[in-house]
Amino acid sequence: MPPSSTPLDDLEDNHDDLVFLEEHPAAPVAGGANSVWRVMIIDDDEDVHSTTTFALGNLDMQQRPLEFVHAYSAGQAREMLKHEHDIAVILLDVVMEQDDAGLHLVRYIRETLKLADVRIILRTGQPGYAPEIDAIRDFDINDYKTKSELTRIKLFTTVTGAIRSYEQIRAISANRRGLDLVVRASTELMALHGVQNFAAGVLAQIADILEVEPNGVLCVQECPDGRCRELHIIATAGAYRRLGTGNLTAAVDAIVATAMERTLAQRRNIYEPGTVTLFFAGKSSRDFVAYLAPGRPLGEIDQRLLEVFCSNVAVGLDNVELVTHLHNAAFYDQLSKLPNRTRLVEILDATMAGPARNDATLSLVDLDHFAETNDALGHQFGDMLLVAVATRLQQRLGQQLTVARIGGDIFSVLGDAEAVNPVRILALFETPFSIDGQDVQLSATLGLVRLSEHDGSGADALKDADIALKRAKSQQRAGHFYFSRSMGVEIRERVRMMHALRTGFAKGELFVVYQPQIDLTARRPVGAEALLRWQTADGTYISPDRFIPIAEYSGLIIDIGEWVLRSACHELVRLREAGHRQFTMSINVSQVQFRHPYFLDMLRSALEETGAPPEFVELEITESMAMEEPDLLIKMLAQIKHTGVSIAIDDFGTGFSSLSYLQRLQVDRLKIDRAFVTEITNSARGSSIAEMVIQLGRNLGLSVIAEGVEDERQAEILQSLGCPLAQGFLFARPMATTALYEWLNDEALPGSA
């Protein structure tokens, strides 16, 4: 404690004479709300008031003088304490109106007024009367003295100790309140989206913590490759709004620019009289810096709080940038930078809820035969072509329209019906696209829906546009079709089939058939593909092309797919027991089923419970499914491979595959689509694609099987091209279990078991 101005060297405890003390001015406390210690005297004896004031009136304690507040009864004290603030010490007489008036007042101060910081010293002129120990403990009484023993020195010592305690408690409370403000400020900042909003929030929250008006500027500096760019203003407040936006240079404001550059160079907060410059370390060679003029000196507690706040904000700025990146990844197509399907649905929902709906039209734009162009010219060329289409749609249709890429080679256009004109959109494809020195001629097919005629959500409108697109493609390529209310019949039919499928599955109407797979050289069966079939109660067969998409759409495919998996594994075990031990069971897995979070658990459970050897189980996934989310699929397939199960890509050649991803997928077999098998004998192109797939499989060390082989000529050509395996009507149609066993017994050659 700093030395007191009171000369106490000659005083003794038993010396009770009044001594006038030398008076010194109190030193101001930086950042403090008060420059005095307020002491309240509560006593019904006026002499006690005057004597106490006379004894302590000219003292400095902790570099501040004392200020006295007087109350002459417990009742008067109650009323005064409702309005008096910053009372540090209360000198309280125990016995006033009643014998325990002082103790009741203590209870009122602590429990009713909730004044926890103020220090209470009880005094009594009746030596025989003392409060119980429990009362002193329960009510946080700082000290208890009889008036006769409370000499000037003891009074000074007692009040000084109480003021020290009060100062420490207030410092702790200030720290706690400040930290609460920092936590609250950090929480509120996390709710802001975008770096600009976050930066503006930082200036506002700092002002809130310091209890001043927002007044400052926040900038970012990027230093890629170690070379720092100019400071870029991202938020301003108060008098610094004059700086506007753009770069902050010495010409704009030399004082602010110099202070910020010094802070960035030293990578720490710098506190100066009247100003503070704060440093926020960022990632990716980006640092943030704020210059503030709080309008008052900052105390030690203020500075400590700002240090904590800056640490939180530095993390927050990184998080905001990460959220921005994730937002872009979630709502924008990474290739074309256009809104993706998810974002388009949001825009559609907003349009449907507003007046723009009355004259708005949504059009899907599907590029005709894009897959063939991709196959012929390659992935990189195809990407450049998609970007060129996106650019032309944006530039030629105008900024008032929303252009999005919703997947693959399908774009969408949303806006005023007059602007979303099918003739105008199709005309954009009359001019070839110049890609990498080549002119590429494209056409497109459109499916449109007038939002004024639509009653559902944005997602429903997109589905209706897709229905119209499918109708347009089935009727005429390079044309267009508008969705009409009559098409709702198709939707109702889809719902009816969904309910029928759910009921049929529960009643056992679905069953599995098996189509043998043949070694072309030995002409013997080596496995079978498990295929799902549905026969209704009235004997009607429903095509898988009709009910499987319904099962996927409704989510029924999860339960149905697990049932097929278990059924096929059971059948594999029975086949092995019957002597067919080198027999592989191939099972189709839909995209919806494969993406289910518990698919891997389902697979492991099916293998374990049926006892099927995983090395003779093969899962088939489609090529489009393999390429839609290749990075996610790579991880999933790696986990599946650990079970011992092999992987085949079905319908290979019908979609677009990146060879780099194909190598990373760890697949075991490529399956040539029946369309390319048919071309072997029916198309001028002949066996070119089939030959390419076979050669690709050989180069990558993958097995190849052809499906849809229907005549001997196709089988001979495939065999001559080096294709080892095939399946199709030439060898056997899909058959039920009993027929499969009979067929195997008739067709299996020696050595097949």
Q: Which among 131, 124, 121, 126 is positioned nearest to 157, based on CA atoms?
A: 121
Coil vs helix vs strand at 645: coil
Residue 160 half-sphere exposure toward CB, CA atoms < 13 A: 18
Q: Which CATH number fits domain 511-747: 3.20.20.450, 3.60.9.10, 3.10.20.30, 3.30.750.210?
A: 3.20.20.450
- Please report which confidence band the pLDDT of residue 324 belongs to, taking 50, 70 and 90 as the band edges: low
Average pLDDT over residues 62-80: 87
Q: Report the 10 Å Cβ neighbour count for 325.
A: 10
One fold for 37-175 and 192-331: no
What does the pLDDT average to over 338-352? 91
Length reported for the chain? 753
Q: Which residue has the higher pLDDT, 178 or 627?
A: 627
Q: For residue range 700-740, what is the model confidence (pLDDT) as tens digits?
A: 899 999 999 999 999 999 999 999 999 999 999 999 999 99
Residue that wins the pLDDT comparison between 506 and 633: 506
pLDDT higher than threshold 70 for residue 6: no
Average confidence (pLDDT) over 101-105 = 81
Distance in angstroms (rounded) separating the CA atoms of residues 427 and 607: 56
Cα separation of 59 and 187, whole Å?
Answer: 46
Options 3.90.120.10, 3.40.50.150, 3.40.50.300, 3.40.50.2300; CATH for 37-175 is 3.40.50.2300
In words, the CATH class of domain 192-331 is: alpha beta
Confidence grade of residue 90 (pLDDT, cut at 50, 70, 90): confident
> What pLDDT is recorded for position 181?
52
Largest Cα span, the chain: 130
Span 287-299, pLDDT tens digits? 888 999 988 888 7
Indicate the pLDDT class of residue 30, thresholds 50, 70 and 90: very low
Look at the alpha carbons of 531, 536, 541, 543 in this order and tell me if their dihedral is positive or negative.
negative
29 has pLDDT over 60:
no
What is d(CA 676, CA 72) in angstroms, rounded to the nearest whole number? 106
Q: What is the DSSP string of 279-304?
A: EE--STTEEEEEEE--SS---HHHHH
Task: Give mean pLDDT, residues 211-227.
Answer: 81
Mean per-residue pLDDT over the chain, rounded: 81
Residue-wise DSSP of 44-66: S-HHHHHHHHHHHTT-EETTEEE
So what's the pLDDT on residue 379?
Answer: 82
In this predicted structure, which of 77-86, 396-405, 677-686, 716-725 has the lowest mean pLDDT?
677-686
Q: Which residues face 587 on adjacent strands?
A: 530, 619
3-state helix, strand, coil in the chain (%, to 5): 50, 20, 30
- Whole-angstrom Cα distance, residue 64 to residue 366? 81
Q: State yes or no: pLDDT of 486 exceeds 90.
A: no
* Separation of alpha carbons 306 and 312, rounded Å: 10
Is 382 in contact with 408 (CB distance < 8 Å)?
A: no
Lowest mean pLDDT: which of 110-119, 180-189, 532-541? 180-189
pLDDT over threshold 80, residue 165: no
Range 29-45 average pLDDT? 71
Instruction: Please state which of the ranges 206-210, 361-365, 439-443, 692-696 shows the lowest mean pLDDT.
Output: 206-210
Instruction: Write the CB contacts of 441 (distance below 8 Å, at least 6 apart in sequence).
Output: 432, 433
Region 161-190: mean pLDDT is 60
Question: Distance between CA atoms of 442 and 434, rounded to whole angstroms?
Answer: 11
Residue 422 is predicted with a pLDDT of 92
pTM for the model: 0.42
Question: Quick count: other Cβ atoms within 10 Å of Cβ 577?
Answer: 9
* Class for the domain spanning 341-483: alpha beta
Say what the pLDDT of residue 185 is.
46
Tens of pLDDT, residues 565-619? 999 999 999 999 999 999 999 999 988 888 888 999 999 999 999 999 999 999 9
Q: Which helix (H) or strand (E) holds 490?
A: helix 488-506
Question: Which of 33-37, 223-227, 338-342, 726-730 is the most confident on average?
Answer: 726-730
Q: Are 5 and 59 contacting, i.e. CB atoms less than 8 angstroms apart? A: yes
Domain spans, the chain? 37-175, 192-331, 341-483, 511-747
| Tokens describing residue 695 | 């050669």
